Chains A and B, each alone.
Chain A
Amino acid sequence: MTDRPSRVAATEAQRDARGIAPLRPEAIAAVATFVLSVVLILASRFVSPALGSWDQAATVVVLASFLIVVAFGQGLVILIGGLDLSVASLVTLGAVLATTWIGSSNDGAIYLLPAILIVCGLIGAASGIGVTLLGVPPFIMTMATGIIVGSVALGYTSGTPRGGAPGILIALMKDDWAGVQILIVFVVLFAVLAAILQGSTSFGRKLYAIGASARAAHVAGVSVTRMTILAYAMSAVSAGLAGLMLAGYSDGATLRMGDSYLLPSIAAVVVGGSSILGGTGSFAATVGGAVLLTTLGTVIAALGIGEGWRTVIEGSIILIALLLLRESTFAGLKRLLGR
């Protein structure tokens, strides 16, 4: 090629170079939330010497584990620009099925536990089909799924779930292995695998693309429908898994078990700096958000502050996180670093 106008390209190159630095807001959010959590735990020592110990940190991880698992699925759906309001019902469903299908024994757990997750996945897929093929807004579709599943769980248990949790789940939640709580290993493993799935697989990449623009992703040859259905299915499976964990943790199920995870799951994603409109964010930051929210809850509870004020502080944290994570904040940071 002799007629390629390289000089023109050079002028354009200069123009584009103005003020762009590869500064990733996601990374900052992830680090910031973790650092804040650690600081919170350490600072609580000043208030009361009983706090700020390793034990307390371990408690936080255990309590945060449910939220981390639910928030993973919620995060995938938010990533593609949706919202999953059915997670509460699916958490409940997971717990209810574990106690009714398997009960306190371990009989058949090896195939019944996967079966429960598959049932959840199918329900999630149904939400996904409603969103993609029927064109129902995600907000409404997942709400309807949630109402329906909740109603089924209610009817299936005639209002009062009975039975304990399978021993294998109780072991997962309570037992130690060489001095380390199995649950902590499990949660760390889950978080790493989930972060890889979202961040470094072709599946995850396609979800980011859909979140950035479903239309553009479709034009570029991404099977948007299939990926969307898959994302909703994954969300339901995560919620179901959290339900299994909760059943193991409390050795039983209640019908309102999942209710306290819907809004926190959204909050964890948001505090982690993902846009609620999709296309951005990382799971590491979401984990950070979940840990931060949980730390806050336990520290405040340990300080003897009532549920009311605790809730007020939680809400304020969400607003503060949003304010700090605004684009303009990062633009200001970039400018500071650029000078």
Chain B
Amino acid sequence: MGSAGRPGLTVEGATKSYGATVALEHVSLHLAAGEVHALLGENGAGKSTLVKILSGVVQPDTGAMTLDGAPYRPHTILQARAAGVATAFQELSLPANLTVAESLLMPRLSKGAGGLISARKTERTAAAILRRHGLASIDPGQAIDDLPLAERQRLEIVRALHHASKVLVLDEPTAALAEVDWLFDRIRDAAQAGIAILYISHRLAEVRSLCKLATVLRNGQSVATVAVDGASDDRIFELMVGHGKRAGIQRRPAAPRGAARLEVRNLATARLGDVSFQVAAGEILGVAALDGQGQRSLFYSLVGLEARSGGTVTVAGRDSSPTRPEGALKDGLALLPEERKTEGILTSLSAAGNIVLPIMPQVSRSGFVWPSLERQAAAEPARAVDMSPRYLEFRIGDLSGGNQQKALLARTMATGAKTLLLYDPTRGVDVGTKETIYAAIRVFTEGGGAVLIYSSELPELVRIADRCLVLYGGSIFAEFEGDDIDERAMVAALTGHPGAARGPASPEPAS
């Protein structure tokens, strides 16, 4: 069928508010059949709301959508699917209690005798779907729970592909994928078949290699649709952020390294073997790794959230083996955890309450919390992360993701710890907040603090780390220093490529 004959999907003037919060305002979008269209925008710009509207999860307050010329207004995911629109969600929507086959076919599994579900038929149907989309390696009878993250992401995509006969929405489909060839092949096949594809990604390089057009959302509004080829990165950033080129921080010259603040010798845990390194005062040590190489275990075992099976850790020369984060704080180690929503913020408390939680004794007199002390204690670290003081009184759950993350960073600084362990501190925050966070980390180290930082985004480490470790399979695979921290060399090391292994510039005193 000729894709040119079909108009595809249009959105005209879609508006959506949640309570008093306006998430989308007069957004318009046109997806042509057979084309890959990018949707760009900072976090909180309204991308996920638009995705939810397209997939029938929520309904717009005003505005109209048409699909191939006919009105399109899905009220459920199933109605959207029936119309040929399907979505691979960013938050990976595969229920952990199901098998691969069940999750693919939900909510209607294959029936056998007497109208009852037949596991065999379900698996057979699922196997055929997996084969069709080049994923025959996955066993349809396997539990989702047992699948690695990357496989789950592929499965999420396959499920969307299976239902998308007209429009396919991919929300950050490469977040957990180290390798994108499989996905890009699928996208090109789908486009060839006349399916309109909405591609959402933070990675401009991917957008450039896949998409012709890109629509940019900012503050809930669609500000422009541009030809990707004709727009420079700077132009696109400008559209996303709403002002000129952001103030770029250049790699700073290597600071003179002070005394070792954090020293880790032969640290081992269930998923980490024999890791040794040190972080000096004033130093930012980066950790790069693909998903699940033991980086979480490294950070969490340092503060007592995970058990160690060996090794020693000293902080400022003193032995540190906390069994709880509380003990780690006493040793001068503060962690910014991975999951902002479940491990970080305390939704129902104010931002100030969140910041001062670890230092309650400092803001109270004989057990009573003193509001003035609390405000004071929260204001200073808030200033350090450039967080407006008027947010301190708000429930943190009502703040944007970026401000939540700033508050959490402020909390680690408020503890007075001289060594910060920052696990992916810029995950899911917008460009502006990222810059603020980099700046705050810089200031912290300039004041003599030491920082161990893991990031899922290599360019970030390239920009801010003084040295960078690469973890692979639970041990340090390579180490880069200063100007050697280079994205291309690190990519190879990330995947454990033998040629990329390299030792530190100066041998470690340990071992």
Contact = CB atoms under 8 A, between A and B. Distances in A.
Interface in B340-363: 342-349, 353-354, 357-358, 360-361, 363
B219 interface: yes
A12 B433 contact: yes
Given A5-B439, A206-B360, A11 B369 contact: no
Interface stretch (B59-67, B259-267, B324-332): B324-332
B145 interface: no
Given A3-B439, A222-B326, A331-B20, A201 B368 contact: yes
Contacts, number: 154
A280 to B, nearest CB: 5
Contacts of B364: 201-202
B424 to A, nearest CB: 14
B369 A201 contact: yes
Given A8-B431, A11-B432, A213 B335 contact: no
Chain A binding surface SS class: helix
Contacts of A203: 367
With most chain B CB atoms within 10 A of its CB, the pick from A15, A20, A206 is: A15
Contacts of B22: 18-19
A312 interface: no
A53 interface: no
A9 B219 contact: no
Nearest to B387: A9
B389 to A, nearest CB: 11
Contacts of B360: 202, 205-206
A12 B367 contact: no
Given A8-B241, A202-B361, A208 B20 contact: no
Interface string A1-44: 10111111101111110111110000000000000000000000
A16 B20 contact: no
B1 interface: no
Interface stretch (B82-90, B312-320, B396-404): B396-404
B369 A12 contact: no
Interface stretch (B69-77, B242-250, B278-286, B473-481): B242-250
A5 B432 contact: yes
A288 interface: no
A216 B361 contact: no
Contacts of B328: 221
B172 interface: no
Interface in B397-416: 398-400, 402-403, 411, 415
Contacts of B243: 7-8, 11
With most chain B CB atoms within 10 A of its CB, the pick from A201, A205, A335, A338 is: A205
B348 A5 contact: no
A15 B329 CA distance: 34
Contacts of B435: 3, 5, 8
A1 B443 contact: yes
A200 B368 contact: yes
Contact of B394 (A11, A22, A211): A22
Interface in B408-450: 411, 415, 430-433, 435-436, 439, 443
B357 A279 contact: no
A219 B391 CA distance: 23
B367 A202 contact: yes
Contacts of A338: 20
A168 to B, nearest CB: 29
B305 interface: yes
A140 interface: no
A107 B241 CA distance: 77
Nearest to A212: B346
A215 interface: yes
A217 interface: yes
A186 to B, nearest CB: 22
Interface residues of A, number: 47
Contacts of A206: 357, 360
A45 interface: no
B393 A212 contact: no
Contacts of A16: 391, 399-400, 403
Given A200-B368, A331-B20, A219 B347 contact: no
Nearest to B391: A16
With most chain A CB atoms within 10 A of its CB, the pick from B219, B242, B349, B364 is: B349
Contacts of A331: 19-20
Interface in A246-262: none
A59 to B, nearest CB: 34
Given A202-B367, A221-B329, A4 B403 contact: no
B381 interface: no
Interface in A176-224: 196, 200-203, 205-206, 208-209, 211-213, 215-223
B415 A335 contact: no
Given A15-B44, A18-B22, A219 B345 contact: no
B21 interface: yes
A334 interface: yes
A279 to B, nearest CB: 4
A213 B394 contact: no
Given A9-B386, A213-B342, A18 B358 contact: no
B20 A18 contact: yes
Contact of B342 (A14, A209, A215): A215
Contacts of A220: 325, 346, 354, 357-358, 411
Nearest to A11: B242
B337 interface: yes
A19 B393 contact: no
A213 B348 CA distance: 9
B232 interface: no
Contact of B403 (A1, A12, A218): A12
Contacts of B363: 202
B511 interface: no
Contact of B325 (A3, A8, A200, A219): A219
A201 B374 CA distance: 12
A8 B246 contact: yes
Contacts of B403: 12, 16
A12 B357 contact: no
A280 B20 contact: no
A9 B344 contact: no
Given A12-B430, A22-B393, A338-B20, A216 B343 contact: yes
B385 to A, nearest CB: 10
B20 A200 contact: no
Interface of B: 19-22, 44, 219, 241-243, 246-247, 249, 305, 324-326, 328-329, 335, 337, 342-349, 353-354, 357-358, 360-361, 363-364, 367-369, 386, 388, 391, 393-394, 398-400, 402-403, 411, 415, 430-433, 435-436, 439, 443
17 contacts: A5-B432, A5-B435, A5-B436, A6-B386, A8-B243, A8-B431, A8-B435, A12-B403, A12-B433, A19-B20, A202-B361, A205-B353, A205-B360, A209-B353, A218-B325, A221-B326, A331-B19
Given A6-B386, A9-B432, A279-B348, 9 more contacts: A5-B436, A7-B243, A11-B219, A12-B433, A20-B20, A205-B349, A212-B346, A220-B411, A221-B415
- Identify the 8 closest CB pairs spanning chains A and B, nearest first: A19-B20, A8-B432, A331-B19, A212-B346, A202-B360, A221-B358, A279-B348, A202-B364
Interface of A: 1, 3-9, 11-16, 18-22, 196, 200-203, 205-206, 208-209, 211-213, 215-223, 279-280, 328, 331, 334-335, 338
